[in-house]
Amino acid sequence: MISKNIKLPPRHIYPLDDWRFVQKKYSPQYLAQDETVFAIANGYLGFRGNHEEGTPVVQRGTFINGFHEQWPIRYGESAYGFAKTGQTMLNVTDSKVIRLYVDDEPFYLPTADLKSYERVLDMKAGTLNRDILWETASGKRVSIRSTRIVSMEHRHVAAISYEVTVLNAPAKLIISSKLRCPTEKLNPQEDKEDPRKSPKFDHSVFVPQVSQVKDQRVLLGHQIRTSGMTLACGVDHEIQTENTYSYKSECYEDSAKIVYSLKAEEGVPFRMIKYMVYHSSRNAPVVELCERTERTLDSVTEDGFEELTEGQQRFMDNFWTNSDIEVSMYRDRRTQQCLRFNLFHILQASARVEGTGIGARGLTGEAYEGHYFWDTEIYLMPFLIYTSPKVAKNLLRFRYSLLDKARKRARELNQKGALFPWRTITGDEASAFFAAGTAQYHINADIMYALRKYVEVTGDEDFLFEYGAEMLIETARFWADLGFYSTNGKDQFHIHGVTGPDEYTAIVNNNAFTNIMARENLRYAVESLELLRKKAPDSFEGLAKDTDLGLEEIEEWRNAAAKMYIPYDEEKGIHPQDDEFLKKEVWDFENTPLENYPLLLHYHPLVIYRFQVIKQADVVMAMFLLGHEFSKEQKKKNFDYYDPLTTGDSSLSSCVYSILAFELGYLDRAMELIKYAAWMDLADVGGNVKDGAHIASMGGTWMAIVYGLAGLRDYGGKISFNPKSPPRTRAVRFPLTVRGKLLEVMIQRDKVTYTLKKGKALTIHHGAEEIKLSEKQPSCIKELGDTN
């Protein structure tokens, strides 16, 4: 039973605010978490929320999506087909550091006498701001104001405006703006028992190639030792002040600094704008990246900082118009803040994803090595499809680019078709524990599920034909080859030896989730190919030829889907998670002390595997993704059975359980569960926010509102709602983009209003009732009630 003790951020430190996450007091006890919470990123480039001064710091972080080092995975005992190449997102050149000395006294947060302090993640503006008033030991009052931005508009650009004013006296100021390679020295496969953490590299994986300084501009270029990836990081500075100042530049292989010296006059600000540009590549030479970097620096410095922030504001306005969830709760303003925080961080993880996936922690921390999992397709895609369909398309196209590697991997496993990697950056399987990695074949079906949703909600049939169909062929092929017709005399298609989403149960036969999702994959392949054959026979012929596809193979898939065995226990009326699940002993929850969670850190896998105990939504997940395959009665019985067996050990469960709880009318439980998902990061529910934000759970929170509270169902592209009015919820409003049209849904205590905000016409459903919205009649109000 997922149950957590949530401690909201204390109000005296983190006051209430709808659009901003504010910290009013420097709080060393939250330092590690705040580095994640105050991270800013654009999906390509990300900065952890380290303070400008560089210290104090728990984990310095500058990340580029997909920028990685690779390493040979060593096994205690290896075997044929084990993943060979570890891939780890690198912590790259840190350009954020700006050190300040007043009369030679360093500004250091933990010891500084702070007269005022405010740090703001401004989610409306898309900036991170800090405003400090510091009184030095000698009584000088120093105002330090900074604004940090990672541009959504210009994906290679970030900037910091850093303004220092000595308010009550003149003072000697030194401002040292730095740039440096990471220097941590840790083994890539350090001895650790927490599989969720990331290996670390010796600084020496950065092979220096370029280091140059010219006036206030510095460039460092590196190549990564084994992956061969290239990186250029350039900074340039603009000074706005009426004080007289001078500067000195230093540049080494792995670090550089520009040091500004001045005698600041009383009340006269010194403002430095530091422009930071990153270019990276898998194959372009470093010198070429340096040229690009110079060009980008030229253009961004010419435009200036104000233009950068204005561009950011335009981007953010558009984002919120298409994505915001407005809520009004009785005596609760935190939830609004938290929802926006979650959406904002999804944006930061995904906005400028081009040619990569989305790491499990976005660009906010090193956990899970920056790897791409099913999180993207199952937890993030619904939000992206309904709010930023172009980003969704980019992500699917990225998967398509990995198809050849997926084919190769299937060959390694003696399988036909293609098998996408369970975790990866490059497309090669990077999971070094196959029982909870490669065995999760469901990744194939998850991606195809996202494809279907994308195509159906956006209507982008071209994408289906151009990219999707080929992926559907290879994944369907894989399933047809993996499974077999059981010899139990019942003409059933079985799939053995798989691991479902619940990693506390491994390598089982007929995992219900996997079989249901595989069936859907097979069916969608059949349907899509029939459609293609009908609509574009030439394309179909070409594709069939390229993939050596015969019509009889499509019939095989149709048959495998029709005969797919879905475990069902007549007596209990539930779907067993797999063939053996119900025969296991139930975990002794009563005698498991709270500190033994997550179980994976306190019990050997052999112990965990032996029991009925669930890490994350499995059957319940299937009931959400393909709810139309279950009767209401089955859903209730399944939920009632699995909810008590589910630990909160994964951040991926509570959102999904919440959706089912809404559907089943368990509104109190639904609201409790949604809270665990929504607060995952801001309240550090899992205790590991320091390692990065739980991007998937953030996407899950959106789903819990839209699919849960509003009861959206969209199977086959048919949009229907079944809104609930849970306790303490006054109103909820959110937009959805459906086939290019903008729909707004507003739920109030006793009614729901559907409004077509953009577009000519749209047909939706309120429960079973069809509603046609149009420019003429854009709105429709319905009373709440049981709409089933």
List contacts with its own copies (CB under 8 A). 72-83, 86, 189, 191-193, 195, 412-415, 431-435, 437-439, 484, 486, 488, 494, 496-497, 506-507, 509, 579-580, 583-585, 600-607, 609-610
Residues 638, 573 contacting (CB under 8 angstroms): no
Alpha-carbon gap, residue 425 to 373, rounded angstroms: 9
CB of 248 to its own copies, least distance (A): 46
Number of helical (H) and strand (E) elements in the chain, helices listed first: 19, 30
Residue 1 or 601: which CB sits closer to its own copies?
Answer: 601
Kind and range of the H or E run holding 562: helix 551-562
Q: Identify the DSSP state of 379.
A: I
Q: Phi, psi at residue 173, to the nearest 5°?
A: -115, 140
Integer-rounded Cα Rg, in Å, for the chain is 27
CB of 413 to its own copies, least distance (A): 5
503 is catalytic: yes
Q: How far lies 743's CA from each of 206, 318, 391, 755, in Å? A: 49, 15, 19, 6
Sign of CA dihedral 17, 20, 26, 30: positive
Residues 47, 158 contacting (CB under 8 angstroms): yes
Alpha-carbon gap, residue 212 to 233, rounded angstroms: 11
Residue of 35, 366, 503, 520 marked active site: 503
CB of 49 to its own copies, least distance (A): 28
Residue 212 or 426: which CB sits closer to its own copies?
Answer: 426
Residue 332 or 579: which CB sits closer to its own copies?
Answer: 579
CA angle (89 as vertex; 84, 91 as ends), nearest 5: 140
CB of 591 to its own copies, least distance (A): 11
Q: Tokens standing for 326?
A: 């407005």
CB of 197 to its own copies, least distance (A): 10
CB of 190 to its own copies, least distance (A): 9
Residue 178 or 494: which CB sits closer to its own copies?
Answer: 494
Kind and range of the H or E run holding 482: helix 469-482
CB of 513 to its own copies, least distance (A): 17
Angle between helices 537-546 and 469-482 (to 10 degrees): 50
CB of 587 to its own copies, least distance (A): 11
Residue 541 or 569: which CB sits closer to its own copies?
Answer: 569
Residue 565 or 639: which CB sits closer to its own copies?
Answer: 565
Residue 486 or 539: which CB sits closer to its own copies?
Answer: 486
Closest listed residue to residue 109, CA positions, set 181, 40, 34, 41: 34
Q: How far lies 328's CA from each of 18, 275, 333, 426, in Å? A: 11, 39, 8, 43
Residue 162 or 611: which CB sits closer to its own copies?
Answer: 611
Alpha-carbon gap, residue 61 to 96, rounded angstroms: 10
Alpha-carbon gap, residue 101 to 737, rounded angstroms: 51
Closest listed residue to residue 368, CA positions, set 725, 695, 81, 743: 695
Closest listed residue to residue 349, CA positions, set 48, 95, 68, 45: 45
So which residues are the catalytic ones? 503
